[in-house]
Amino acid sequence: MMKAYLGEPVGAYIMRVRVETAAKLLRYTEIPVSDISYQVGYDVPSSLSKAFRLFYNISPNEYRNNKNYTIMKSLQVNENLNLKAPKMLTLAPKQAIYLKLTGEYQTLDFCGAWSKLWQYVKDNKLFSAGIEHIAIYHDDPKVTEAGKLRTDICLVLPKKAEPKGEIGVKTIEGGKYAMFLYQGSYDNLGAVYDTIYAKWLPESGEQLRNYHCFEKYINNPEDTTPEKLKTEIYVPIE
């Protein structure tokens, strides 16, 4: 059942997610390699080193020190995106209903997923002010194959909700976030993230927290031109 749901055996899935999480922490934090090993679930650092080299043909230390080493895709840093300095926010936890999607981020049926979530809201009389459209991205397309990227399409609800069928309920973790406001086409979001992680993060002195980034969509793409779309990008930091 797990293989049918995940598209790979559960053991392979666990190893892959551990190694991919380690790759993100190695590239974007200063956490010691030994601590990263324990955080992602290995008893000893040598186990992470062995698995990491098996996946990426490079050791964890070599990957951390070689910023030019590319696993999946090259960086697209773009300083002409008119990306302003972020706001530093401390958020309370948020309750959300969600649908889990898998695949390349640009090809996912966001509209279809939100239509199902809104139907759930209507059927269960959960409409209220303050509902937010959010997408949580679990994987870094620089280290994860496109077909295995995981996304949670969410509606944040002030009212209490219960899971039903394919619709789940989760808590979006609170804490400190750097919030970037980006205005422009969704097609440029990949370059926006690369610019944040490869330029802003190392220059800011901030430390990435081991949680998922997420996006909040401010306006509706069905009645907004691409250049006027507004997206809040939340990057978890210590």
Fold: same for 2-65 and 87-236: no
| HSE of 51, CA atoms in CB hemisphere, 13 A | 23
In the prediction, which pLDDT does 74 show? 63
Q: What is the pLDDT along the chain (238 residues), one digit of tens a residue?
A: 777 777 778 888 888 889 999 998 898 888 899 999 999 999 898 999 999 998 888 999 999 998 888 886 666 666 667 778 899 999 999 999 999 999 998 889 999 999 999 999 999 999 999 999 999 999 888 888 888 899 999 999 999 999 999 999 999 999 999 999 999 999 888 889 888 988 888 889 898 888 899 999 999 888 999 999 999 999 999 9
CA distances, 109 to each of 100, 102, 103, 135, 151 (Å): 11, 10, 10, 12, 11
Q: Which 3 state secondary structure label does DSSP give 178?
A: strand
**CATH of span 87-236:** 3.20.80.10
Three-class SS of residue 108? coil
Side-chain half-sphere of 99: how many Cα atoms within 13 Å? 18
Spatial neighbors of 125 by CB under 8 A, at least 6 apart, are: none
- Cα gap 119→17, rounded to integer Å: 32
Could you name the CATH architecture of 2-65? Answer: Orthogonal Bundle (1.10)
Domain ranges of the chain: 2-65, 87-236
| Token reading at 75 | 């960086």
Give the pair of three-digit tokens for residue 166: 């394919």
Task: Tell me the C-alpha distance between 155 and 217, whole Å.
Answer: 11
Using a cut of 0.75, tell me whether the model's pTM lies above it.
yes
User: What does the block give as tokens for 201?
Assistant: 């993060």
Distances (CA, A) of 18 to 6, 48, 117, 167, 208: 15, 9, 30, 26, 17
Q: Which residue has the tokens 């590319």?
A: 70
Amino acid letter, residue 206: E
